[in-house]
């Protein structure tokens, strides 16, 4: 290093989630180590710094500031410029400007870091076995923040005065707890207790040991976590899992399991490379993976070949799992469809009849967040999936999009090399990180999302803040969570919406809420929102061929859509083609009872009557004629082009399931039935000069044909999946011919099905299409709000 060269000075600006994540002490120690003088500080735009010293040292600083940034930092951009040297020695941290932090970003909650874990397990440490240990690099964030700026008085740690030793750490720039707002210790911080359902304390020594005993006894334990209460049972005990199911009124929907560590997770499931990275990363989602036989009680995930597993993310989880020394069911603390309980009094009221004991504490949760759920994909299906690189290179040329990628790139860079993450539910550990978009929103937007798996989105400038998972907007408690969440996000990020975007479905509570506001309105068709969401997720403007396959959404013509090929950009769309509409006999009843869709599809596939002897007909003989006639006459049988309903029909035909107990259950189980090694496929006919029409009934005819000659169900299920991929390919090929487009966006809940997504992507890429998939928001209705927001922004820009 040539230290004789004349010193240089640079002004550096870092934007992104760079406050409250230890960025200033990091810059301080980096600059000090490199022998640089200058200062670092926070302002409303992020972190600013000036560094002065030998050119090589300054250059190294600029590289390291990005490369070695603290784990919770999410850097959007680093900009530097040369300025006059001033030869003032020393490096300092400048005080924050008061009131300047409203646009500063609050980071998501993060799993306990390795340093804190080491302290937790060190008998010599003053925080030995202290369940609230945290530092600048880890711990609660979003769930404890009540207001901005992100300072202790604005968090639920406000009531805990720091002791002298904690205060010393908090104020020491060289300490790894410098400005860690939730810093605390056994002397000054929150305390754990084990309580009976009536709230009275259990007379025990160590609450963790006593809680572990409750679990080992096969009883149900409520555990206060980061974003709410969980209900826990020993995952190996059939009786305990069954009791929890009965008390929670949850029939089939799988429970998630927490394993003590990665090695333990491998005993429960086949853990791929990508899954392992997700399991051990700071976000700690529930990762859905193929389960090993008999690893946990059957009642944990009845009839399911997958199991959702997560690893401990709080110090309390570590202590509890260590004490139990085995996998523990950890499911949302609620009764069936209510939101997860997060306030202590609510939890004791709601969960009294379910939990035998409560492991709780006195640090309140300010906002509820459920565990996030992801699927991992090792990119086995093919090239393009694993790297996402096509999109990347094109976007970087666009310049602006660079920031969007950088943001997504945090998750991306860890994962894109060999695999990818597919979000099913985006909540704890991810929220409130914004999605950075290519174009500024001319006016702040509130997007209200859809009905099921609701999220909302508040957007301003070039950022879209997609909310945590709110849930199904079907009851008062969820609706309250929705409206309170909107107010909270508005306050935290300083966004007062002037435009509200909403789904066209007039009966959605989110739509009614939107139309009651005194704001400019922007109605967005459901499937257009899906495709726009995928575009925003990829930092791409379109136009594209958008394939939106889902359960149902309100169509622009007032009928139910769900198997759509759209030519879409952010501002608008045209319906290029769709699945042939089929009646849904009984309306909503047809969604709950897939056998009704089998009846409707068999009618369409065999106008003169289906082959005799089909099991689905025998099982439902009593109601078959009535339902078929309902479909024929079109009475209480709305037409729908939904792809989800086609999956339902085939699931019932293959005797997977006649009725469902949770949304999408039949399709989930059909995917699991399919033999992944099978490559044969069924074909559906494509007709029509205007919008083309794909006859889904053709697949049903093929399924029925093979069924009647005794082909095994796993083979038929696989050929059906491949048939869906083939019809996506056919539709896209036709749309490409007519509209001269070569990029396809895949969105909608059907693409949670990895088999369909893999096979469709492989076929499309083999044809030379570039394929856009989701990575930052779910492809299901949880991603709708982002799509609505960017559509509103695009229309606002066009109107100016």
What tokens does 459 get?
């957007």
Restricted to residues 188-227, the positions that interact with Zn ion (CB under 5 A) are: 188
CA distance 503 to 532: 13
Among all chains, which residue has been given the structure tokens 């639920």?
156
Cβ proximity to Zn ion: between 63 and 187 the closer is 187
CB of 132 to Zn ion, least distance (A): 10
Site size toward Zn ion (CB under 5 A) is 10
Identify which of residues 163 and 276 has a Cβ nearer to Zn ion in the complex: 163
Which is nearer to Zn ion, 188 or 639 (by Cβ)?
A: 188
* 157 forms part of the interface with Zn ion (CB under 5 A): no
Q: Is 142 exposed, middle or buried (0-12, 13-18, 19+ CB in 10 A)?
A: buried
CB 135 to Zn ion: min, Å: 3
Least distance to Zn ion, CB of residue 72, Å: 10
What tokens were used for 134?
């945290």
Candidates 30, 138, 297, 746; binder of Zn ion (CB under 5 A) is 138
What contacts 166, CB < 8 A, 6 or more positions away?
Answer: 177, 183, 184, 185, 187, 188, 189
Q: State which residue, 116 or 514, has the beta carbon closest to Zn ion.
A: 116
Closer residue to Zn ion (CB): 139 or 585: 139
Residue 134 beta carbon to Zn ion: minimum distance, rounded to whole angstroms: 6
Name residues contacting Zn ion, limited to 727-766 (CB under 5 A): none
- Shortest separation between residue 167's beta carbon and Zn ion, angstroms: 8
Radius of gyration of the chain (CA): 27
CA distance 522 to 515: 10
Report in angstroms how near the CB of residue 281 gets to Zn ion at its nearest. Answer: 14
**How many Cβ atoms are within 10 Å of 659's Cβ, its own excluded?**
14
Candidate ranges 185-193, 350-358, 429-437, 656-664; the one touching Zn ion (CB under 5 A): 185-193
Using alpha carbons, list the distances in angstroms from residue 44 to 197, 470, 562. Answer: 46, 29, 43
Per-position b or e across 411-432, b if 16+ CB within 10 A of its CB: bbebbbbebbbbbbbbbbbbbb
Residue 132 vs 647, nearer CB to Zn ion: 132
Stretches 48-56, 177-185, 421-429, 576-584: which one binds Zn ion (CB under 5 A)?
177-185
Beta pairing class for 435-447 and 499-503 = parallel
CA distance 417 to 435: 21
CB of 185 or CB of 660, closer to Zn ion: 185
Between residues 159 and 303, which has the closer beta carbon with respect to Zn ion?
A: 159
Half-sphere exposure of 670 (CA within 13 A, CB side): 33
Strand order in the sheet with 74-83: 74-83, 8-17, 46-53, 37-43, 91-93
Give the closest residue to 468 by CA, choosing from 371, 366, 335: 371
Nearest approach, Cβ of residue 166 and Zn ion (Å): 3
Q: Which is nearer to Zn ion, 101 or 137 (CB)?
A: 137
Min CB(75)–Zn ion separation in Å: 20
User: For residue 447, what is the enclosing H or E element?
Assistant: strand 435-447
DSSP annotation of 708: H
Mask: binding to Zn ion, 454-473, rule CB under 5 A, as x and -?
--------------------
Site for Zn ion in 548-567 (CB under 5 A): none
Cα(249)–Cα(38) distance, rounded to whole angstroms? 61
Among 21, 69, 105, 185, indicate the residue that binds Zn ion (CB under 5 A).
Answer: 185
The SS3 of residue 24 is helix
* Shortest distance (Å) from residue 371 CB to Zn ion: 20
Residue from the set 77, 163, 504, 715 that interacts with Zn ion by CB under 5 A: 163
Kindly state the smallest distance separating residue 184's Cβ from Zn ion, in Å: 5
Nearer to Zn ion, 115 or 541 (CB): 115
Shortest spacing between CB 320 and Zn ion, in angstroms: 18
Give the interface segment with Zn ion, choosing from 160-168, 425-433, 715-723, 752-760 (CB under 5 A).
160-168
Q: Find the binding residues for Zn ion in span 77-136 (CB under 5 A).
A: 113, 116, 135
Under 8 Å between Cβ of 664 and 644: yes
Question: CB count, 10 Å around CB of 710?
Answer: 6
Which of 89-97, 137-145, 313-321, 440-448 is the region at the interface with Zn ion (rule: CB under 5 A)? 137-145
Distance of alpha carbon 359 from alpha carbon 231, whole angstroms: 10
Binding Zn ion by CB under 5 A: which of 1, 45, 88, 187? Answer: 187
Pick 138 or 297: Cβ nearer Zn ion? 138
**Gap between the Cα atoms of 308 and 285, Å rounded:** 9
By residue count, the chain amounts to 800
Which x/- pattern, by CB under 5 A, does the window 276-315 give for Zn ion? ----------------------------------------
Please list, in sequence order, all residues whose beta carbon lies within 8 angstroms of the beta carbon of residue 465, skipping any fewer than 6 positions away. 432, 434, 457, 458, 459, 489, 493, 495
CA 330 – CA 231 distance, rounded (Å):
6
73 versus 492: smaller Cβ distance to Zn ion: 73
Taking the complex as a whole, the smallest distance from the CB of residue 181 to Zn ion amounts, in Å, to 13
Q: Which stretch binds Zn ion (CB under 5 A): 163-171, 217-225, 238-246, 390-398?
A: 163-171
Based on CB atoms, which residue is closest to Zn ion, 71 or 676? 71
Q: Please identify, using beta-carbon distances, which residue of 98 and 124 lies nearer to Zn ion.
A: 124
Of 18, 58, 104, 166, the one binding Zn ion by CB under 5 A: 166
Listed ranges 165-173, 366-374, 540-548, 564-572: which one lies at the site for Zn ion (CB under 5 A): 165-173
**How many whole angstroms separate alpha carbon 232 and alpha carbon 222?**
6
Which of the stretches 2-10, 164-172, 413-421, 432-440 binds Zn ion when contact is defined by CB under 5 A? 164-172
Residues 471, 478 contacting (CB under 8 angstroms):
yes
Q: Where do runs of H (alpha helix) occur along 249-304?
A: 262-268, 273-280
E strand or H helix at 692:
strand 692-694
Which residues of the chain form contacts with Zn ion (CB under 5 A)? 113, 116, 135, 137-138, 163, 166, 185, 187-188
């Amino acid at each position: 290093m040539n230290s004789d060269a004349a010193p240089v000075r640079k002004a550096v600006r870092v934007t992104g989630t760079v406050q409250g994540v230890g960025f200033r002490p990091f810059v301080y120690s980096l600059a000090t180590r490199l022998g640089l003088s200058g200062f670092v500080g926070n302002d409303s735009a992020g972190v600013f710094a000036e560094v002065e010293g030998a050119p090589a040292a300054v250059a190294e600083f600029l590289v390291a500031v990005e490369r070695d940034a603290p784990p919770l930092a999410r850097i959007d951009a680093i900009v530097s410029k040369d300025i006059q040297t001033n030869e003032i020695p020393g490096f300092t941290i400048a005080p924050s400007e008061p009131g300047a932090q409203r646009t500063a970003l609050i980071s998501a909650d993060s799993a306990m870091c390795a340093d804190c874990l080491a302290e937790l397990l060190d008998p010599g440490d003053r925080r030995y076995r202290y369940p609230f240990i945290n530092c600048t690099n880890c711990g609660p964030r979003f769930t404890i923040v009540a207001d901005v700026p992100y300072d202790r008085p604005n968090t639920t740690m406000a009531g805990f005065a720091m002791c002298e030793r904690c205060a010393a750490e908090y104020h020491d720039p060289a300490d790894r707890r410098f400005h860690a707002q939730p810093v605390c210790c056994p002397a000054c911080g929150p305390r754990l207790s084990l309580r009976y359902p009536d709230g009275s304390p259990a007379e025990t020594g160590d609450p963790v040991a006593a809680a572990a005993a409750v679990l080992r006894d096969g009883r149900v334990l409520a555990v206060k976590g980061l974003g709410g209460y969980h209900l826990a049972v020993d995952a190996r005990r059939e009786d305990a899992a069954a009791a929890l199911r009965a008390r929670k009124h949850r029939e089939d929907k799988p429970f998630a399991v927490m394993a003590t560590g990665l090695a333990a997770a491998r005993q429960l499931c086949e853990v791929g490379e990508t899954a392992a990275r997700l399991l051990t990363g700071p976000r700690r989602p529930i990762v859905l993976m193929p389960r090993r036989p008999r690893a946990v009680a059957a009642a944990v995930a009845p009839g399911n070949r997958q199991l959702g597993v997560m690893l401990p993310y709080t110090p309390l989880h570590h202590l509890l799992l260590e004490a139990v020394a085995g996998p523990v069911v950890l499911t949302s603390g609620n009764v069936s469809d209510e939101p997860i309980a997060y306030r202590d009094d609510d939890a004791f009221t709601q969960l009294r009849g379910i939990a035998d004991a409560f492991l709780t504490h006195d640090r309140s949760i300010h906002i509820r967040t459920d565990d996030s759920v992801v699927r991992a994909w090792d990119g086995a299906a093919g090239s393009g999936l694993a790297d996402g690189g096509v999109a990347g290179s094109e976007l970087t040329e666009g310049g602006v999009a660079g920031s969007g990628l950088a943001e997504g790139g945090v998750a991306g860079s860890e994962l894109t090399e060999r695999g990818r993450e597919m979000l099913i539910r985006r909540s704890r550990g991810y929220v409130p990180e914004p999605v950075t978009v290519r174009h500024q929103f001319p006016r702040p937007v509130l997007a209200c999302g859809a009905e099921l798996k609701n999220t909302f989105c508040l957007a301003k400038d070039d950022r879209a803040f997609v909310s945590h998972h709110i849930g199904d907007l079907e009851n008062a408690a969820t609706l309250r969570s929705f409206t309170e969440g909107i107010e909270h996000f508005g306050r935290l990020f300083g966004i007062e919406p002037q435009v509200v975007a909403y789904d066209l479905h007039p009966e959605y509570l989110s739509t009614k809420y939107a139309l009651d506001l005194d704001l400019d309105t922007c109605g967005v068709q459901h499937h257009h929102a899906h495709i726009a969401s995928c575009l925003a997720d990829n930092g791409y403007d379109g136009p594209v061929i958008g394939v939106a396959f889902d359960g149902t959404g309100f169509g622009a013509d007032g009928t139910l859509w769900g198997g759509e090929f759209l030519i879409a950009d952010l501002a608008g769309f045209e319906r290029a083609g769709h699945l042939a509409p089929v009646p849904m006999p009984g309306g909503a009843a047809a969604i709950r009872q897939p056998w009704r869709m089998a009846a409707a599809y068999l009618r369409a596939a065999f106008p003169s009557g289906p082959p005799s002897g089909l099991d689905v007909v025998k099982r439902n003989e009593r109601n078959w004629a009535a339902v078929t006639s309902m479909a024929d006459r079109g009475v209480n049988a709305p037409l729908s082009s939904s792809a989800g309903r086609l999956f339902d029909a085939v699931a019932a035909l293959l005797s997977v399931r006649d009725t469902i107990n949770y949304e999408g259950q039949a399709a989930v189980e059909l995917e699991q039935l399919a033999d992944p090694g099978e490559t044969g496929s069924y074909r559906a006919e494509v007709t029509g000069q205007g919008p083309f029409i794909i006859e889904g009934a053709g697949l049903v005819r093929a399924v029925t044909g093979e069924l009647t000659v005794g082909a095994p169900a796993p083979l038929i299920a696989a050929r059906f999946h491949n048939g869906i991929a083939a019809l996506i390919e056919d539709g896209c090929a036709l749309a490409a011919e007519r509209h001269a487009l070569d990029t396809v966006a895949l969105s909608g809940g059907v693409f949670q099905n990895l088999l369909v997504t893999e096979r469709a992507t492989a076929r499309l890429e083999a044809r030379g299409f570039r394929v856009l998939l989701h990575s930052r928001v779910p492809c299901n209705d949880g991603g709708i709000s982002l799509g609505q927001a960017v559509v509103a922004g695009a229309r606002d820009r066009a109107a100016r």
